[in-house]
Chain A
Amino acid sequence: MRIHIPQSIAEAMSMRKELPEAPFFAGGTVVYALGHSYDDAIDISKAVGSEIFHTMRHVHIGAMASLEKIRLSELSPKVLRDAASFCPSLQQRNAATIGGNAAQRRDDGYLTAALLASDPTVVLMTEEGKAEATVSDYLAGRADGLILEFVFRKNLPGEARRIGRSSHAHMAVSGARVGDAYAYTASSSGFASGGKDCWQELGFKDDLLGSADYKRYLLSVMF
């Protein structure tokens, strides 16, 4: 694998145009881990920020912010801090990033439900320039681009939960709620956000982590 290290966002986008199959390489816990091999990857660690800061009404979290940094920052929304701790290993949390986690668009992603429930704005760099998208559009693949940061409303209440067989096992289900907004994930079954019962929209499937019935039941009693 050839690893390309752009020094700026513009350079990163330019490289991506030349190498459309090359993934952006953030923390490395997925792209560079076991079982993944690419001819090229674009290391965005020098191009994209990892800062967490707040303005009058918002909290900004750079896409390269690690899960551990998010977990420890008092600025981070509580629901996101909860979810960051779902990544059970300190070494992994030190490496994995919010941008990388979201970019996987996984239904067992540590942050997926928390992001959906807290509904931040995703700031993207696209071929057309900077753009904003809702996180649900991004996670559903309706918006795309290099994630630069997430912008959350300040002082969000909320909580996130996961259920898996053990701390390091994949999550069978997860859920998050922020006020009246709920979001759920179920492994192999997708994710949904909306009202408390929005889990019913999921197409539950059996997999290694449990039967469809099990996952459906868990989400029905999660909150």
Chain B
Amino acid sequence: MQELLSIKYDVESGDFIRGGEASSSIKKLLQQLGIKADIIKRICVACYEAEMNIVIHSLGGYIEAKIFNNKIEIVAKDKGPGIENIDLAMKEGYSTAPEYAREMGFGGGMGLPNMKKSCDEFYIESKIGEYTEVRMVVYF
């Protein structure tokens, strides 16, 4: 499997204005590569949710997109509090987001479930007080 290109974006904690720009750039790139619109949409939903999770829950992190000839792999990794109970965090409607995130339209407890639903492969790993890493794969 050949890796065509790899691109990495830093995501700042608490930046609700620029949050989403990485996902927007990845969308543009996939459109230029001629990937089908419904596939792009699934990738974007997963990527955008992951990006906003970094903005809301962490001390900052990055989104990395690796594009192969048959798939895209997105890694979203942050520094921060980590997730205490991943099974609980995967439950629709469960959220630990602060009030200000809700005011911005987030924190409904649908982020992780949406990511999982949108991808072909979904992996999550977290260490309390250190990091959370989500790896998602969508086939073209």
A and B found bound together: no
